[in-house]
Chain A
């Protein structure tokens, strides 16, 4: 059961991450069309070949409902498959497998997966209050009846920093905690970012001492272990094996996926240190008929260093509780024996809201298609990609394979 490897990524585009958006403001619809144009050009395909659309719904500027239909109309295409994904940082991974599944089921032949994440222009009478509120409460709902509004906000439980910090403290109590190993995740990824021309931290190297000397935000997380939000946006074209054979780039076939979610606040997880990625990754590997040991690289969602640690363990790259040792014993750079987040991860490439996770999908594709430039891996046939939304809440895994 599952995918048979008959759908592949053949094109991608992403805006260069910017801390302060200098690119002219474009409507989200306009960004969708612009990203689609760039991704199709990358694939060597025409707009008339698209018949599927997977789009990020929340915070879409021009509409909160009927988003796919509005986007299809704007693009000027007709669709056999349309989907809105609302999985936070797991949205990108969730988009890719949904597109692959729709193609394998014969619903459609080519799907645009797109997340516009640059600021759109506000109208003269538009109230940006909802955005201020979203920023202030870090994605927590303040609506009447929302459990978090009632049981979390009055106690200051909000934002992602504290949730991840509490996971890290629990991990520390169970398995021990080595701040230097955690810093090494950020340092190795920063090294990788030096090989990506678009990385936000290209030209800025980092040492473990700098990480540990940086401001403590919520014990034990330092500010340099926390992702920096940027403006950006990304699109990926997923298509059938037949069309992929004619694509400009070497396709990255989607041969396994998994998805798992059950809570919003990690306080209500069965065990906070075991993330839903454990089930998602196991499903992805078994679907692909591969093991973690057969991966040439891992692109693990990295909103925090602790996210990477837990994902390494739960995806099966090392046993539970041994992540710190694994990090110490391996070179995680693109030059090393365990290439991890070879574009710098979101920690060093930049996290453009929900499009951030797509940078990891696109890096896997860039490696498989052999155009990762100076950071190109010697062998890049099998790559594992993970996605994380909320506070380890929504988890997804993909296995991408070169055809």
Chain B
């Protein structure tokens, strides 16, 4: 099992996915010809009207057709074999591509009555729409957070074995850690970096010239210096990946210096796991690290750091 594909909502479709997250099935109805439209669009496929409105519907449906896949359609879905791929027709007449859940293979037949099942896919409540037999009691599949059952280390971090793919996948989250401790960037530090790197451009090292000629009125730290100071700042990642032989910094997918760090600034950092991707080379974790001058909204460094666990 690995990271499964999830829909990316568009401005047009967002109400559909939001409704599913809220435990409701909403589809579009044309305010002019009263016909129903699925999948979400900006126009009515019956009369081209742009007056579509979102309506909650019961989800009463029947099975239009199905197949049981004996070969996974994507490697990520291999744990779901056979996938009971289905085309479901809602009472309103529209058809939806989905999968059936909670029905024995032998009990599936074209025309059977169905009802929706809200399948929670992550801790944030993102939900896919599946269907089951009308008389089944299940109407929701809860999300079992694969991180919850895992032990914690002395620092309170969840210990995630790198081989536990569902748990690794669950680390991807759009939420930043709290801020790290702060580090002072003073002139001796900047000068030391200038000496080390050979980059002694006046904007970093010449306080007098910078006072008059620099748009910042003072010297600023090298972007690369601020970037490497990341290792001095401890941001509290809520997890600790374990069970790997080597961990290497594979590189950076994106490195930007959007805002300067003037001398004598206090800087701090925070991070979030942007992506977790199993690759032939090992488990790849993309950590977006942002370094800010304290109290500045605009980051001074954005670094999408790719870490490879093997």
Interface membership of B151, Cβ < 8 A: no
With a CB–CB cut-off of 8 A, which chain B residues contact A219?
Answer: 67-68, 70, 82
Could you say which residues of chain A place their CB within 8 Å of the CB of B68? 218-219
Chain A contacts of B70 at CB under 8 A?
215-219
List of B residues within 8 angstroms of A162 by Cβ: 67, 69, 73, 85
Please name the residue on chain A nearest to B80 by beta carbon: A156
B228 close to A (CB within 8 Å): no
B110 touches A155 (CB 8 A): no
B176 sits at the interface (CB 8 A) = no
Tell me the complex Cα distance, A157–B70, Å: 13
Are the CB atoms of A155 and B65 closer together than 8 Å? no
Residues of B whose CB lies within 8 Å of any CB of A are 4-10, 13, 39, 64-74, 77, 80, 82-83, 85-87, 95-99, 109-111, 128, 130
Using known A-B contacts A162-B85, A217-B69, determine if residue A150 contacts B39 with beta carbons closer than 8 Å: yes
User: Which residues of A come within 8 Å of B, CB atoms?
Assistant: 136, 144-145, 147, 149-159, 161-162, 165-170, 172-173, 215-219, 221, 265, 267-268, 272
Known contacts A149-B8, A166-B87, A219-B70; is-contact A156 B13 (Cβ 8 Å) = no
A169: chain B residues at CB < 8 Å are 65-67, 110
Tell me whether A150 and B97 are in contact in the complex, defined as CB-CB below 8 angstroms, given that A156-B80, A218-B67 are known contacts. Answer: no
Does A267 lie within 8 Å of B73, measured CB to CB? Answer: no
Contact of A218 among B71, B99, B111 (CB under 8 A): B71
Contacts of B87 in A (CB 8 A): 166, 267, 272
Are B128 and A155 closer than 8 Å at their CB atoms?
yes
Q: How far is the CA of A219 from the CA of B8 in the complex (A)?
A: 30
- The answer for the CA separation of A13 and B4 in the assembled complex, in Å, is 44
Cross-chain contact A156 with B77 (CB below 8 angstroms): yes
Cβ–Cβ < 8 Å partners of A159 in chain B: 73
| Assembly CA distance A211 to B64 (angstroms) | 27
Return A123 CB to nearest CB of chain B, in Å.
Answer: 22
25 contacts between A and B (CB under 8 A): A144-B10, A145-B10, A147-B39, A149-B7, A150-B7, A150-B9, A151-B96, A151-B97, A156-B69, A156-B77, A156-B80, A161-B71, A161-B73, A166-B65, A166-B85, A169-B66, A170-B65, A215-B70, A217-B69, A217-B71, A218-B69, A218-B85, A219-B68, A267-B64, A272-B64
**In the complex, given contacts A166-B67, A265-B97, what are 14 additional A-B residue pairs having Cβ atoms less than 8 angstroms apart?**
A150-B8, A151-B97, A153-B74, A154-B128, A156-B73, A156-B80, A157-B97, A168-B67, A173-B65, A173-B111, A215-B70, A215-B71, A217-B70, A267-B64
